[in-house]
Structure 1
């Protein structure tokens, strides 16, 4: 009975994990479509000249990231300058402290070599290459990150990087871990629509991704509860504290 119930819970968890995967794929597809094709299905298109981008609206431009943003590569400070007692600037060595949007620094640095500014896009240059957060304040940044200071609309650039970072897959280097160079980042190919369309795309994607992200968060919460429930069921069953038949009703 316990094995059967545990199996049913595992099946529910697997179904929800698959749904999360499908939602993440849908979110990425929507972002890709918006930042490469725009929101007007009737707009005249042209060949971008880039195979992995395909056609783009005729009036959009193709450029490289270094022409629309400043890229600041992180640099690790002396270990003597790093502490965990709040002295100096909050410090990020890599993406380990990334969350959904803003990092949560656990370390501080008195004399950081490189800094991100509020509003910069924090971009991971080491595994996983392409992980992203927004700098909500000034951070010292180590060699696992770069800070992208955009010259166009920041949120549009965020969504654009969500798409174009796939180009980095062909540039990943390193035998022991994945990594890319500052030149790889600077030379990323970017699609740039007029400012008014950037605003429209940003608003459109904010609305849709908020909805999808909410669904994903809810599913992850359900999975966590199911895992806790499974663990509790097994523990109490093997210790003889419950009648497993009562648990069967919950899943029916």
Structure 2
């Protein structure tokens, strides 16, 4: 879909805005809105301000570039009458996050509400339509943050900065048309993005199901089965062995870090928990640790070792596939090595760990809360199913092939989402700066309704 340009343009005077249509005027937000306001946070230790609350209270975490219809917290009417900074802002007000990680987020009140001190509210619009202003700020919020935000790790802007922003815009009626166009077009794009996201979720679910079935049931559906005696495994092929991990693999934690790790004479790069992601190990810019000659065998990895996270995302794993160099590993990782390479392959057990993780094997059965650590002694006692080596190799090869195809499809869907998101951003920017003329745009079903055309928000 292509749209024409306006017939004439003038320089906006702002480098990052470029030219705008000649008939557009620049409005300072403080002149275009009757009021700019904010709110406050009553002491959370004093229950009287929150108990029996009926007044919606908006925080910046609830600004999600959408209409706000409910809030996580409600304030009591007593809080509204006690704190002068709290006032009820009418539905239709535009909220902007001014502080910290949420800076620049936007939301439109769908209900009358009050806010905390990190929100700036634009109410009583005169010359700028709320939805047009919303889209303009959405398009250029990063420019505004880059130019005007102060502070280091927690940047912020203030009401004065927002009040002095100048927004080039046509008349209100034309602003409404632009907003209607963007509502429609962004909704179409969002629907396409949602379809791709659903596809990705379905592909991931199918991939996980394929892995779980392969490592517990094998590839041949006709073989006799037996009860494994392990809940998450269920029935397994009768010729498979079910046993503790320690019967098939050595399980060793890495070296404990200490103050002297960077001062010894035997410096070796070492892997940390965060370096081991699913199927991938980071080898760039690794820190150093002192591992003496007599400790190298114990605290270094070799080709084919399986590294498993002991803490954090417990059970996350990857196979070490490099031949060269001495690489250590810290105590936050388990190093798994087959007791007999002729009996077990790490490729198969990697997929077993993926299945176990997805099925909640590394979660506490009483609370279902993921445990923060998996001690080696406990890990060694977990039971898994182990096919003969030929079956392990066949299963690993088949899963590798299937997962490659699945990953390619997921990657294509992710790229599609990225392109759609880029298209969305470009379209918004083009419309709110007049790079495209949508004055004659109309829905396929007919012309813009008279009601919307007369809207005077």
TM-score (norm 2): 0.48
Kindly indicate whether the alpha-carbon contact (under 8 Å) linking 2:269 and 2:289 is maintained by their aligned counterparts in 1.
no
Q: How does 1:164-175 map to 2 (within 5 A)?
A: 164-165=356-357, 166-170=360-364
Tell me the C-alpha RMSD between the 2 structures. Answer: 3.0
The 5 A counterparts of 1:1-252 are 1-78=181-258, 81=261, 88-95=267-274, 98=277, 100-111=279-290, 114-137=299-322, 138-151=326-339, 152-165=344-357, 166-170=360-364, 178-243=372-437
> 1 or 2 for the larger relative contact order (CA 8 Å, sep ≥6)?
1
**Contact residue 303 and residue 320 of structure 2 kept, 8 A:** yes
**When the two structures are aligned, how many residues end up with a matched partner?**
242
5+ residue gaps, structure 1, are none
CA–CA separation in structure 2 for the residues paired with 1:81 and 1:208: 42
Contact residue 168 and residue 184 of structure 1 kept, 8 A: no
Task: Deviation per CA, 1:120-165: give whole Å up to 9, x if none.
Answer: 1221222322222222335332333222112311211111221223
**Mapped contact 1:97–1:104 kept (Cα < 8 A):** no
Q: SS state of the match for residue 361, structure 2?
A: helix
Question: Could you tell me the TM-score, scaled by structure 1's length?
Answer: 0.82
Larger radius of gyration between Structure 1 and Structure 2: 2
Residue 251 of structure 2 contacts residue 380 of structure 2 at CA under 8 Å; is this kept in 1? yes
Local SS of the residue matching 2:347: helix
Q: Is the 8 A contact 1:36 1:56 kept in 2?
A: yes
Q: Post-superposition shift, 1:235?
A: 2.9
Cα pair distance change 1:179/1:12, threshold 3 Å: farther
The structure-2 alpha-carbon separation of the partners of 1:236 and 1:120, relative to structure 1 and needing over 3 Å to count, comes to: farther
Separation in 2, partners of 1:145, 1:243: 58
Query: What is the distance in 2 between the residues matched to 1:172 and 1:159?
Result: 26
Question: Please, which runs of 5 or more residues in structure 2 have no aligned partner?
Answer: 1-180, 443-457
Task: Classify the secondary structure of the residue corresponding to 1:143.
Answer: coil
For 2:280 and 2:249, how far apart are their aligned partners in 1? Answer: 20
On the 8 A contact 1:45/1:58 being kept in 2, the answer is yes
Cα distance change, pair 4–180 in 1 and its aligned pair in 2 (3 A): farther
